[in-house]
Amino acid sequence: MNARVVLLGGGYVTLFAYRALMRRLGHQVRSGRLEVVVVSPDDAHSFHGFTGEVIAGILPFERTRTPLAEVMPQARILRARAVRIDRRQRLVEIERADDGVRSDLSYTALVVGTGGREPVGMVPGMARHGWTLRGPGDIRALTDRIAAAVHAPAGTAGRRVVVVGGGLAGVELAAAAADRGAGDLQVTLVHSGPRLLPELDDQPRLRERAEAELARLGVAVRTRVRAAEVDSGGTRLADGTYLRAGTVIATVGQAPVGLAGLEEFRDERGRLTTGPDLSVTTGIWAAGDAARVVRPGTREAVPANALWAIKAGAHAGANVAASLHAGLGLPGRAARAARPFTYRGLGRAASFGLGRSISELYGIPFTGALAWVLRLVFFLRFMPSRRRALAVLGDLAAGRGRVTGAGRASSGVVPVFASRSPEVVP
């Protein structure tokens, strides 16, 4: 039987593992000696880097979506979800997305990049009434919801938005919703901790700038109180306050997507524990939000964000290629020993509208035009499609898609190379 690599998930880990495999064993894939199969419930890759711009109406939603078949043309794409792993038989049980039919898929090597979802079960009613970003179709649904909220009757709950969670994602979404509303939406950010952006405890200047930007946009901030319950009319806080809102958004972190058969390798948070080379056990590698990857030289897990998933996915793919070369005698430049993951990170950022952001690069804080351009160049570099990257650049330069308030064209569009700064080094 020919070798088969199965990549679980349609996100950054899978895309960059695929690219690493093709660089090293592409000839074997094209000749039929090696098959690459991608298992994903979504048939497109969602690029989350520009989510704030999409929610704010700065970029069209379509810029975030790239069909998997387009970016991984040599792979067989199965629109399905992985249900269970049989390590002894080297089988993945999958369930097709269209009809729920289950079947087994054999693998020679397996990369788990199933990612995470917001743990909405932590707040009663959030799963039913809240809005999230990490599931298939979530970004489009939330974008449409915020756009509709702008046109809700004035003074009603439909014009009110509550964002639960004050980390980078929550701050960005609150800013984006307020930016889209241009004064027509009442946005409240609720955070259980004493300060917003706990990720930036080492960058007080950037936190202060973020708080100032939220104030500029009219976002009301509630700290030291958690959301206790969400219903169809809004959310009740732990101090008894009830916030009426037509839209409650969960940005409360992430929990790994469950996958049976690998329980013995999970940590206390449900992540797959990986070795220095990102292997979980024989024939299985993991990266991204589904995995606990240790930061080089420490015992700490790496941050759960896109850049780390990109780098770890590429590293896992390279080590899979090395493993296949050694185990199957495949020729090519993949001939090397598996290597430890040594990437040490780049930085963080958060957006507050077109041309406005905070960012940190290798520990150095930035705001203003330089930060915005650095962030833009970085995101364009890692977009899965060059054609879409060029389209983003064209949209920003021309100010296309920029709509705020009740359909009003924004007068604040800033040309791409003369602006001030948004978001994260994912």
pLDDT in tens, 404-426: 433 333 433 333 322 222 223 22
Q: What is the pLDDT of residue 86?
A: 97
* pLDDT class of 371 with cuts at 50, 70, 90: confident
Whether the pLDDT of residue 216 is over 60: the answer is yes
Question: Quick one: DSSP state of residue 108?
Answer: S
Q: What is the pLDDT of residue 330?
A: 58
Averaged over 193-212, what is the pLDDT?
93
Whether the pLDDT of residue 11 is over 70: the answer is yes
Tokens matching residue 173: 């979404």
Question: Quick one: DSSP state of residue 173?
Answer: H
Contacts 24+ apart (CB under 8 A), 268-272: 271/301, 272/112
Q: What is the pLDDT of residue 253?
A: 86
Q: What is the pLDDT of residue 375?
A: 81
Q: What is the pLDDT of residue 38?
A: 98
Bridge partners (DSSP) listed for residue 234: 231, 244
Q: What is the pLDDT of residue 407?
A: 37
Which residue would you say has higher pLDDT here, 403 or 242?
242
Q: Which domains does the chain have, with CATH numbers?
A: 3-115+254-328 (3.50.50.60), 120-252 (3.50.50.60), 347-426 (no CATH)
Name every residue whose Cβ is closer than 8 Å to that of residue 116 and which is 6 or more positions away in sequence. 134, 254, 255, 256, 257, 288, 289, 290, 304
C-alpha angle 402-407-408 in degrees, rounded to nearest 5: 70
Whether the pLDDT of residue 19 is over 80: the answer is yes
- Alpha-carbon distance of 284 to 112, in angstroms, equals 7
Bridge partners (DSSP) listed for residue 104: 93
Whose CA is closest to 142, among 163, 121, 166?
A: 163
Averaged over 371-375, what is the pLDDT?
80
Bridge partners (DSSP) listed for residue 82: 94
Whether the pLDDT of residue 246 is over 70: the answer is yes
Around Cβ 182, how many Cβ atoms within 10 Å? 19
Q: What is the pLDDT of residue 331?
A: 56
Q: What is the pLDDT of residue 327?
A: 67
Measure Cα distances from 359 to 49, 308, 370, 391 in Å: 14, 17, 10, 24
Pairing label, strands 186-191, 160-164: parallel
Pairing label, strands 34-40, 76-86: parallel
- Alpha-carbon distance of 244 to 206, in angstroms, equals 31
Averaged over 142-147, what is the pLDDT?
96
Which residue would you say has higher pLDDT here, 1 or 311?
311
First to last CA, the chain: 39
Tokens matching residue 279: 């292997």
In 204-321 the beta strands, taken as DSSP E runs, fall at 220-223, 227-231, 234-237, 242-244, 247-250, 255-256, 272-273, 279-281, 284-286, 291-292
Q: What is the pLDDT of residue 405?
A: 39
Whose CA is closest to 374, among 347, 345, 404?
A: 347
Q: What is the pLDDT of residue 408?
A: 38
**What is the per-residue pLDDT across 307-357, written as a single tens digit (0 to 9) for each?**
999 999 999 999 999 999 876 665 555 556 789 999 988 888 888 877 788
C-alpha angle 206-150-155 in degrees, rounded to nearest 5: 100
Q: How much of the chain, in percent, has pLDDT values that exceed 70?
A: 91
Whether the pLDDT of residue 267 is over 70: the answer is yes
Q: What is the pLDDT of residue 410?
A: 40
Q: What is the pLDDT of residue 281?
A: 97
- Identify how many contiguous H helices and E strands the chain contains and give both numbers: 10, 26
Please state whether 220 falls in left (phi above 0), alpha (psi between -120 and 50) or beta.
beta
- Alpha-carbon distance of 182 to 141, in angstroms, equals 20
Phi (first) and psi of residue 133, to 5 degrees: -125, -15
Segment of 63-67, 226-230, 369-373 carrying the highest mean pLDDT: 226-230
Q: How much of the chain, in percent, has pLDDT values that exceed 90?
A: 72
Question: Quick one: DSSP state of residue 336?
Answer: S
Bridge partners (DSSP) listed for residue 190: 164, 222
- Please provide the average confidence, as pLDDT, over all residues in the chain: 89
Pairing label, strands 347-351, 357-361: antiparallel
For residue 347, what is the enclosing H or E element? Answer: strand 347-351
- Amino acid symbol at 386: R
Tokens matching residue 33: 């000696």
**What is the per-residue pLDDT across 84-125, written as a single tens digit (0 to 9) for each?**
999 999 999 999 999 999 999 999 999 999 999 999 999 999
